[in-house]
Structure 1
Amino acid sequence: MTLIGVKIDRLFLRDLFILLVGVGLYILSIQLFVVPNAMASNGIAGFSVFIHFVFGINPALTFFAVNIPLFLLSWKLLEQRELLLTIPGALAMSGWMMIYEAIGITGFQMDSLITVGIIDGILSGIGAGLVVLSQGTFGGSILLARLFENKWKVQIDKTLFGIDIIVMLLAVVTYLALPNFFVTLLSCYIFSKVTRLIGRPSYRQQILQKVGLIKNESNCSCTTNECSCSN
C-alpha cells in the first residue's frame, strides 16, 4: 500500500508509533511542569503564548497561522515521507492534550524551579528527539529546524535553541519573571541538546565516543540520520 508515493509498511508504522509516543512525552512535560510552574513554552508554542499576552489572540490560532507557511515551505524542502509523518504529528499535539485532560493529568508545582527546568528539558527533549528520530515533525519549531537542517545543514539543536532565545526575550520583556526566564532558558538549552542526542544517531555516537562508552572506530561512517561501522 502506498500513499502520496510513500510505502506504508512495517517500517513506516514503526516510525509512526515512535512519532506518537514522542509527541505524547513532549505534551506530558508541558502539562506536568511548564504550565503549573509558570514557565514559558519553547519554540513556536511559546511565541503563540507571547502573542496571546500582548494582543489577546488565541494561542491555537497563532500556532496554526505560523504553521501554514512552514507547511507550504515543507512541500518543497522535505521528502514525501517526512511530510506524511508530519500530519499525524501535528494532529497528535491536540490529541494528547485532550487525552491528558480527560484522565485528569494537570501537573504539579515544585519548590525548586531549577529542578523543574532540568526535568522538563530532559523529558520534552526525549519526546522531541523521538519525533526527529521517526523522521516526522509536529510542526512549529521542530518543523522549522528540519527545514533549516535540510536546506542549509544547520544543526537541529542550534536552530531550536536560537528560536527559543528569541521567544524567551519576547516573554521576559512582557510577562515572564526573571527567575522563570533563566530557568526556562536552561530548560530550552537542555531540550535542544537532548533532542539532537536522541534524534540524531551520528551526534549520539560522537558523544558516546567522547565519554568513552564506545570506541572511536576509524572505519565508521555517519550521515545526518544514522551511523554505520564495518568490522
Structure 2
Amino acid sequence: MNLTDRVRRLCRRYTLDYLVMILGAAVYALSVSFFTAPNEIAPGGVTGLATMLNHLLDLPIGATALLLNIPLLIWGAIESGRRFIIRTMIITAAVSLLIDLFSLFRFAYHGDLIIAAIFGGILSGVGLGLIFLRGGSTGGTDIIARNLNHQLPYLSIGSIVLLSDAVVVAMSAIVYGSLENALYAVIAIFTSSKLIDAVVFGLSRDNGKLMIIITALPDEVAAELTGRVNRGVTVLSARGGYSHLPKGVILCAVRPHDAYRVNSAVIDTDPTAFIVTTTATAISGLGFSI
C-alpha cells in the first residue's frame, strides 16, 4: 500500500469516525434536552451536575457542562495524551452545543417520570454507544476514571465511574428534594448502560475481549497500544509458517468498547497486521477486573 492510498484510507476512516460520533452526540443531547433534564432527572456524570445547576441557577446545561469539563480536559491531556483528548474535546463541545440548541425547542416530554427515565436512558445509551464505538469520549467521569486508574491501577475504570455516578445521583435527591427523582436517575443509568453494551458489542454478554495481533512490527505496534489505548501487552516471538519470516504475536486484553481503538491503532501502525478478536469470559489482574 503506497502513501497516497494509506492517507486516503485514513481520511475515509476518520471522516466516518467523526460522523458516527457526532450522530451519537446528537442522540445523547436529545436524551438530556427532551427527557431527563425537563423532568428533573440527573443521571450521573458532569451532565448530571450541569442539570442540577440549571435547576438551581437557571444556567444553560450544555455551556455549564462544557465549563465543568475544561479542568478535566486539561488533566486528561496531561495523563492520557494529545490524541485521546482532541477527540474528547471535539465530542464534548458538540454534545454541549447540541444540548443547548435542542433546549431552545419547546416540545420536551413532561409526563410520567418512569417513561422519561426509560426513554432518556435508551437515547443516552444509544448516543454514548455510538461515541464509544468509534473510540470517542464525552469527557467528565470518563476522564476522571481513566486518570485515577493510571494512579490507582487496582481500581477498575468501571468501579470509579459507578462511584462517581452514585455521588451525583445522591446529590440530586438533595437538590430536587425528592428521593424518587434519584431513583428514576438510577433507572436511566441502568437502561443507558445496557444500551451502551448493545451498541458497542452487540446483544451478547461478553465480559471482555482478547486480541491476538500478528505483525512484522511488534515493537512499534506494542508502543502504539500502550500509548494510545493505555493497555499492557505481551509480545511473543514467532515466524511465518509459509514465509518463514520473523513475526511478533501481541496479546492484549481489553474491554469491549476499547476493541475498536486497539484495531485502529494496529492498522495505523501496520496495515498488513493480522488481528484475531475473541471473547474472554473473565479477565483479572492489576487494574483490570471484569
TM-score range, shorter chain: 0.7 to 0.9
User: What amino acid is aligned across from residue 27 of structure 1 in structure 2?
Assistant: A
Question: Does the 8 A contact of 1:157 with 1:196 survive in 2?
Answer: no
Q: CA deviation at 1:140?
A: 1.8
When residues 125 and 148 of structure 1 are mapped into structure 2, their CA distance, relative to the original with a 3 A threshold, is farther
Q: What do residues 99-149 of structure 1 show as CA deviations (whole Å, max 9, x unaligned)?
A: 4356x36322233x2232222212201111221222222222233344456
Please list every run of 5 or more consecutive structure 2 residues that lacks an aligned counterpart in the other structure. Answer: 4-8, 213-250, 260-275, 280-290
Q: CA deviation at 1:153?
A: 7.4
Question: Does the 8 A contact of 1:149 with 1:155 survive in 2?
Answer: yes
Aligned Cα root-mean-square deviation (Å) = 3.6
How many residue pairs get aligned? The number is 212
When residues 29 and 50 of structure 1 are mapped into structure 2, their CA distance, relative to the original with a 3 A threshold, is closer
Task: Return the structure number with greater relative CO, CA threshold 8 A, min gap 6.
Answer: 1
TM-score by length of 2: 0.60
Q: Is 1:207 the equivalent of 2:205? A: yes
Q: CA deviation at 1:38?
A: 2.6
Q: Is 1:22 the equivalent of 2:14? A: no
User: Which residue pairs with 2:116 in the alignment?
Assistant: 116
Q: Is 1:171 the equivalent of 2:172? A: yes
Q: What do residues 37-63 of structure 1 show as CA deviations (whole Å, max 9, x unaligned)?
A: 232243112223445556x48456653
User: Which residue pairs with 1:4 in the alignment?
Assistant: none
Q: What do residues 185-222 of structure 1 show as CA deviations (whole Å, max 9, x unaligned)?
A: 121223234334534x4xx586069xxxxxxx9x9975
SS of the residue 1:106 aligns to: coil
1:181-196 to 2 correspondence within 5 Å? 181-196=182-197
Q: CA deviation at 1:64?
A: 3.9
User: What amino acid is aligned across from residue 114 of structure 1 in structure 2?
Assistant: I
User: Which residue pairs with 1:137 in the alignment?
Assistant: 137
Query: Structure 1 vs Structure 2: percent identity of aligned residues?
Result: 22
User: What amino acid is aligned across from residue 121 of structure 2 in structure 1?
Assistant: G
When residues 146 and 127 of structure 1 are mapped into structure 2, their CA distance, relative to the original with a 3 A threshold, is farther
Of 9, 12, 16, which residue of structure 2 is paired with 1:10? Answer: 12
User: Which residue pairs with 2:233 in the alignment?
Assistant: none
Measured in 2, the distance between the counterparts of 1:150 and 1:135 equals 19
User: Which residue pairs with 2:78 in the alignment?
Assistant: 76
Q: CA deviation at 1:178?
A: 2.1
When residues 153 and 127 of structure 1 are mapped into structure 2, their CA distance, relative to the original with a 3 A threshold, is farther
Which has the larger Rg? 2
Q: What do residues 15-51 of structure 1 show as CA deviations (whole Å, max 9, x unaligned)?
A: 1112111111111111221133232243112223445
Please list every run of 5 or more consecutive structure 1 residues that lacks an aligned counterpart in the other structure. Answer: 2-6, 210-216
Q: Is 1:198 the equivalent of 2:247? A: no
Question: Does the 8 A contact of 1:164 with 1:185 survive in 2?
Answer: no
Measured in 2, the distance between the counterparts of 1:158 and 1:18 equals 27
SS of the residue 1:173 aligns to: helix
When residues 186 and 205 of structure 1 are mapped into structure 2, their CA distance, relative to the original with a 3 A threshold, is closer
